[in-house]
Chains A and B, each alone.
Chain A
Amino acid sequence: MAVMHREIYQVRDRFKRSTIVPVAMATVLSLFATGAAGQTSTYKAPRSADGKPNLNGIWQALNEASWDVEGHAAAPGIVTALGAAAAVPPGMGVVEGGPIPYQPAAAAKKKENFEKRLTLDPEIKCYLPGVPRATYMPFPFQIIQTQKYIMMVHTFARAVRTIYMDDHKEAPADSWMGWSNGHWEGETLVVDTTGFNDQTWFDRAGNFHSDALHVVERFTATGPDHLLYEATIEDPKVFTRPWKMSMPIYRRVDKSAQIMDFRCVEFVEDLIYGHLRKQPGK
């Protein structure tokens, strides 16, 4: 029954819904869905075969966190030749409760990261984006949900996360995307991720973490085409206290939506190895 319901639902989507649900509507839904304390709504998502909220689908954030998770005004880009095309779009930020609580030395490093972002930002080199950055980059990602494994397949760099739902383990080694154990709390998928290396950033503004990063994410359907995404960031080497970001995530309802190939290694080879090309006559 659950399957049938979902299929009917998808067919309806394809005929009635436009490509991106208007922001205003999303905001209303989001407000409706979250109380002051971030409590979830009474919306009950369609069920998967195991009776859990069915989060399957292709999803995408629609905000400016990819440029800077904190509130920021518009700014010029760092590549002069790209002009307005690479300028920074302004955003109100996704961090709750004031600025990111950096320890003093870490605040200095964040500033340095920002100044040297053209050479230091791992996104530029097509490195795996880490968590939570992968979630709100301006690319779609697909959730593939089963009882034992929930896969999150990102367009950027083909980054993939496996959320282990019933075989919880400690991370066997540090990695770029971390090691994720998940469980359900009512309507919410809770993902606990550790085992990160210290190579990824949170955004293009140089916000960063150490290998002590611990991320707890909560994915809650607030309507048929919206998720509330909350991520609590804990890193005692970098921050004075845990802090949180939250944002809505939107279903890509376009009929033809699919995760396409973004094999960006090829796009960065001249950047990384170009100076090692044999020069004519040598």
Chain B
Amino acid sequence: MNHRFLVSASGLIVLIAGMLLPTMPAAGQATSAAAKTNGTPAKPYTQPRTPDGQPDLQGFWTNTTYTPLERPKDVNKEFFTQEEALELIKKAAEVEGEQTEPGTILDVHYDFTQFGLDRSQGGFSLNLRTSMIVDPPGGRIPPMTAAGQKRAAERAEARKRMGAATDAVQNQSLSVRCILMDRDGPPMLAGAYNNNYQFVQIPGYVMILVEMLHDVRIIPLDGRPQMPQNVRQMMGSSRGRWEGNTLVIETTNFTDKTAFQGASENMRLTERFTRVAEDTMRYQFTVDDPATWAKPWTAETPWKKSIGPLFEHACHEGNYGLYNTLAGARAEEKRAAEGANKPSK
């Protein structure tokens, strides 16, 4: 049973795609061989090709997951058993459902259960790993260098000087401002919903459409150099190549605005997409930033084949939430000031 739900909120055109795919671990259905062994299929997978001979990654994908980037501190192993993983997903899904107690503020914002937005209702690839990070083997981001710690402290100090989150629009996160989301990355990481992507390939390019923010990554494969060092973009400058069946994307030229996990703008990111089964793609990424971490670190997470189409996510155009957050804070200040001016009895 495949459904896409269209939700229209407050008259704005918000199209939120919810997906119900057949392999729903929480429902106790069988998971694919690829998922059971964490992205390595039991039988060798014959990679289809595009007409011009590229390994074919085209179609719709989702990277929805319950697996955290870093291993929880109370977990001391690399893999859960399938039973453990399913139990954790079930519990997490229950927590997501509880966000929508009828009559509460959160219930007004999004009803995750009703609209199929909680992650357990959508299709995703069951990952038995206890963390996305595979290197270092402890599953956690390595400690920062002294320079990295100094930069982190300076950033925190600068952020503090800007005031409260509701003081100015620039104090809000890039995602709240509809500027950049985790799904865009790079690296491309799932959020709580709308983790939907479309790959399109033509000679010389791979294009990845990100449903969230209608963002597009167009990756040239022709070996051209990265953009000049002085040309920096939030999503950096990405160049791709094929290594066997793996799409390798190198990205540099970041800005200071994304600072992925505390990285500097000189972070060098290497992403690897490998289709390991008809319905599964392995996504690996390596963060190399000597100014922040002494050694590169690597994470991986499976992406699952999904269904289309993707819809227009006009986030900025309908960002009433941001406007009202700021307007509400100013109204509260005004009310407080009026209260203070009232003569006391």
Contact = CB atoms under 8 A, between A and B. Distances in A.
Contacts of B163: 278
Residue of B8, B164, B214, B311 with most chain A CB atoms under a 10 A cut-off: B214
A142 B177 contact: no
Contacts of B322: 273
Interface in A152-203: 153, 158-160, 162, 164, 167, 172-177, 197, 199
A263 B234 contact: yes
Interface string A50-74: 1000001000000000000000000
Contact of A260 (B58, B207, B233): B233
Contact of B58 (A142, A146, A175): A146
Contact of A177 (B166, B312, B337): B312
B234 A276 contact: no
A146 B203 CA distance: 10
Interface in B322-337: 322-323, 326-327, 329-330, 333, 337
Interface residues of B, number: 53
Interface in B166-225: 166-170, 177-180, 198, 200-203, 205, 207, 209, 213-216, 218, 220, 224
A114 interface: no
A120 interface: no
Contacts of A145: 202
A274 B220 CA distance: 38
B271 to A, nearest CB: 18
Contacts of B218: 142, 144, 153, 258-259
A115 interface: no
B207 A151 contact: yes
A260 B317 CA distance: 21
Contacts of A269: 169-170, 177
A278 B163 CA distance: 9
Contacts of A265: 177-179, 316
Interface of B: 6, 8, 13, 15, 50-52, 58, 163-164, 166-170, 177-180, 198, 200-203, 205, 207, 209, 213-216, 218, 220, 224, 231, 233-235, 309-312, 314, 316-317, 322-323, 326-327, 329-330, 333, 337
Given A3-B203, A158-B214, A173-B311, 9 more contacts: A127-B317, A153-B207, A160-B216, A173-B6, A269-B170, A270-B169, A273-B168, A277-B168, A282-B333
28 contacts: A3-B203, A49-B50, A49-B51, A56-B203, A127-B317, A128-B312, A128-B317, A145-B202, A146-B58, A146-B200, A153-B218, A158-B215, A160-B214, A172-B6, A173-B6, A175-B15, A175-B314, A176-B13, A176-B317, A256-B224, A261-B234, A265-B179, A266-B177, A269-B170, A273-B168, A273-B322, A274-B169, A278-B330
